[in-house]
Structure 1
Amino acid sequence: MTTEKERAIMQTEFQKRMDEDELMNCMRCGFCLPTCPTYIESGFQESHSPRGRIALMKAVVDGLIDPDEDVERSLNMCLGCRACEPVCPSGVRYGHLLEEARDIIQQNKKHSFPVRVVRKLVFDELFPYPKRMRIATALLGVYQRSGLRSFARRTGLLKVLPSSLRDMEKILPDVPALKEMKERPRHLASEGAPKRRVAFFSGCLMDTMFMPTNDATMRLLQLAGCEVIIPESQTCCGALHGHGGEKQKAKELAKQNIQAFEQLDVDYVVTNAGGCGAFLTEYDHLLKDEAEWSERAKTFVAKIKDISEVLVELDFHKKGLKVKPQVVTYQDSCHLRNVMKTSASPRKLLRSIQGVEFREMKDADRCCGSAGIYNIVEPEMSMQILDYKMEMAKQTKASTIVTANPGCLLQMKLGIERAGLSNRVRAVHIVDFLLEAVERAQEAEHEEHVRKTS
């Protein structure tokens, strides 16, 4: 519980740091309400809507209310999916207001000792350091491969964990060994004549827990005619920090990434995770008040591009891709759609694949409830949102659910598990699905060649 002194400091910081023009831009029109999952799932509580949260921020700035636990609770219940932004007639940058408010609260309240330890470990000691991320992931791999996982499941040891973490343990991917994570490529030549020279933002979780997806991404870029550079000095994008009230640490990570990429003579900096890509595209806002970095950030941001956009630009959808006949639907990554404005390219790629019957899911653009670590810290609301999403997915009768962000991928796998559909439905990242289509097309071509020559 915050003290009176802490609330007074927070209120002063709200008045100094919140963008009052942006707060005033909200016309209270309500266009955002039907797009907000927490507003809908809370039974239409105004305090759990974008409009309501902006009103709370403005009331704190005006001194009408204290930044107390109720205000913090309302802000923490927000997924940060930013579905409210595309529909806002005034163009309110709600995500920027939310991050600023969360940072003010988190930096000026006294956390309990366990919370301080966890935040220190995650934000300061783990995610900013790729080597530590590899070691932590390798330990998970030891658990998976050594028999400990089977033992823990068989004996019921996992029951000591909260139900949300027990469910998450079931759907974690089998992770690579430490040696594999260390031996990462730094330069890859294009297949055939190079059409583009690109840099690849490999990320932290993506290059450890989801390393095969990164490998698939780089392979697709090569096949599309890209020379690929993967700078070793890049680090975590900082999204977890920016969304979690650790803005200063997010700035430090942003500067490290800008330095890692800015000297490369590349056409694009390519990403394959909607959450990372969206945060990277807002480095210019994050560093707007720092004279040394603001222009460098703008130059960096101008080169960020999602893998699906690059592939469509290079006509990858015309390569005769093929899979076994199946019904496919697509779940949008919120940040890919709402911040990076990328929704058509993934669908264009999927529809181009022979064997795919593409069926659009109702409310495919509504958040799945993952939202970084939201499904861990707010499991009840997250599961409500996920259950609705799975109902929409089931209506398509799809056997394959494709998405474009690691958090969304795990959440959809969790939804499949919860719905008892594991033997009939799978969730897959779009680049893994595209590589399947490439390999299947190559197999079919080889089979046809053998048939003709035999």
Structure 2
Amino acid sequence: MITAEQQKEIQKKFKERMDQDQLLNCMRCGFCLPSCPTYIESGFKESHSPRGRIALMKAMVDGIIEPDEDVERTLNLCLGCRACESVCPSGVNYGHLLEEARDIIQQSKKKKQSLPVKVLRKAVFEELFLHQNRMRFLTGLIGFYQRSGLQKVAHATGALKLLPKNLASMEKVLPKIPTMKEMKHRPSHLMPKKDVKKRVAFFTGCLMDTMFMKTNDATMKLLKMAGCEIVIPQNQECCGALHGHGGEKEMAKDLAKRNIRAFEDLNVDYIITNAGGCGAYLIDYGNLLKDDPEWAERAAEFSSKVKDISAVLVELGFHKRKLSLPEQVVTYQDSCHLRNVMKTFSEPRLLLKSIENVEYREMKEADHCCGSAGIYNIVESEMSMQILDHKMENAKATHAETIVTANPGCLLQMKLGIERLGLSGKVRAVHIADLLLEAVEAEAEAAAVIK
């Protein structure tokens, strides 16, 4: 509950910190409405649209309305997919406004939050994502659960029924976790077998280098094949996206500075990511630190080098290689932030279409959010599942056997959608890096048989 004292503090901060020019740039034209998942799924509720939320922010700045629970609720219900930005004729930076508003509300409420909320936020934002060794430990426990037989026991006894339905379903779609030893022994420098075309740094990420470590390995193999010398800084940190989106902007800034330090003296052409959510936040460091005289220029330089794996592979002609897979229909689900922030959408499709025996079919509304959005599918489960079910209707209509995406959250969400539809074993979801490596290895095996 927001107290009267907190309301005054929030209104004061809104007047001081919200970008008035951006708020006024919104012309209320409504171009954003068809692209907003929460507006559509809420039955076209205006307050759940981008222009509606901007109107609420402006009203708080002007003192017309008070920042009560309803205002906080509609801001929190936003996925932050930023699809509205891609269609906005005025170029409103909605994502920046949303993060600022959430940070103001969260920081103003912090002192008087309940103990359970304080403990949970501290555990997630400070004790877990700020320490990669703890991420490895937690992920390792999940791996132990999978390998020890406990998972089979949990399924056989029906123990998972004690969990909320969506969490029980998520447990089924988790990838096979690597061992602690595998997670600890990671490379720091890799060379291609032939001439070096580019020298790149690889941003490994938190979950990507633990839960999705095999995808990181696939990414590095692809980069080596494409002619990249790869530097992997061992002192890199979480990108800060979870903190920035969750009202912990100062923590996000601290993580950004640590990452800039880790990468800035490596003399690389690009900083490569394979997770759309991470990449979008890294590319936004320039905005995050724009008001810091010491860091603004360094942040802008860092952001200018960030590229997704698919964009670099296309630049280096990887799509011209001879690749093949067993005959199958493939479709692609855009990572919102990869498309809307990093502006990378044609390259993944070009790579998929280049694989022999693959029939690519474009999914209707592939650019619409799948409902994952970081931890949104946990904290806003009902809306997330509503969005996912809509997404899966479109995926099913393609008759695809393989759904490809480029972000870990999207990947788990699509696997969850497959599970909810009862299509496990008939349809699979896979990261584009894993599928491309699969195609490379399939072609190599075919060539070996011919010889």
Q: TM-score range by the shorter chain?
A: over 0.9
Distance 2:142 2:425 in 1: 25
Question: Quick one: distance in 1 between partners of 2:79 and 2:65?
Answer: 23
**1:358 aligned partner, one-letter code:** Y
How much has 1:160 moved relative to structure 2? 2.4
Q: How does 1:28-427 map to 2 (within 5 A)?
A: 28-109=28-109, 110-427=112-429
**SS of residue matched to 1:323:** strand
Query: What is the rounded CA distance, in whole Å, between the counterparts of 1:155 and 1:201 in structure 2?
Result: 40
Superposition deviation, residue 156 in structure 1? 2.1
Give, as a single letter, the amino acid of the residue that structure 1 aligns with 2:427: V
Distance 1:81 1:343 in 2: 15
Distance, in Å, in 2 between the alignment partners of 1:158 and 1:193 is: 52
Distance 1:371 1:280 in 2: 16
1:337 corresponds to which letter in structure 2?
R
Contact 1:191 1:224 in 2 (8 A): no
* Deviations, residues 371-409 of structure 1 (Å, cap 9, x unaligned): 000000011100110001100001100000000000000
Q: Deviations over 1:147-183 (max 9, x none)?
A: 1111122222222222221111111111011100000
Secondary structure class of the residue paired with 1:391: helix
- Whichever residue aligns with residue 82 of structure 1, its letter is R
**In 1, Cα distance between equivalents of 2:430 and 2:390:** 19
Q: 1:23 matched to which residue of 2?
A: 23
Letter in 1 for 2:66: D
Q: State the SS of the aligned residue for 1:428.
A: strand
- Aligned-partner Cα distance in 2 for 1:251–1:161: 35
SS at match of 2:364: coil
Mapped to 2, the partners of 1:254 and 1:247 lie a distance apart of: 10
Does structure 2 retain, via aligned residues, the 8 Å contact 1:25–1:90? yes
Residue in structure 2 matched with residue 6 of structure 1 by the alignment:
6
Instruction: Measure the CA separation in 1 of the matches of 2:177 and 2:206.
Output: 13
- Who is 1:452 aligned against? none
SS of the residue 2:415 aligns to:
helix
What's the offset of the Cα at 1:447? 1.0
Q: Tell me the SS of whatever aligns to 1:360.
A: coil
Deviations 1:255-298 (A, max 9, x none): 00000000001100000000000000000100011000000001
Q: How far apart, in 1, do the equivalents of 2:190 and 2:132 lie?
A: 21
Cα distance, 1:239 vs. partner? Answer: 0.3
Cα distance between partner residues in 2 of 1:196 and 1:218: 13
TM-score (norm 2): 0.99
| Partner Cα separation in structure 1 for residue 448 and residue 120 of structure 2 | 53
Count of aligned pairs between the two proteins: 449
What amino acid is the match of 1:213? T
CA deviations over 1:346-368 (Å, ceiling 9, x no partner): 00000000011000000000000
- Conserved 8 A contact 1:308-1:345: yes
Letter in 1 for 2:412: L
Q: CA deviation at 1:191?
A: 2.2
Distance 1:206 1:97 in 2: 28
Structure 1, unaligned runs of 5 or more: 450-454
Q: Which AA in structure 2 matches 1:292?
A: E
Q: Structure 2: where are the runs of 5+ without partners?
A: none
User: SS of 1:355's equivalent?
Assistant: strand
Deviation at 1:230, TM superposition (A): 0.2
- Distance (Å, rounded) in 2 between the aligned partners of 1:2 and 1:161: 30
Distance of 1:111 and 1:355 partners within structure 2? 56
User: Which residue among 430, 433, 439 is the counterpart of 2:441?
Assistant: 439
- Matched residues in 2 for 1:210 and 1:120: separation? 24
CA distance in 1, matches of 2:408, 2:51: 29
Query: What is the CA–CA distance in structure 2 between the aligned matches of 1:145 and 1:241, rounded to whole Å?
Result: 32
> What amino acid does structure 2 have at the position aligned with 1:294?
A
Aligned equivalents of 1:106, 1:292: Cα separation in 2? 26
Q: Secondary structure at the match of 1:191?
A: coil
The CA RMSD measured in Å over matched residues stands at 0.6
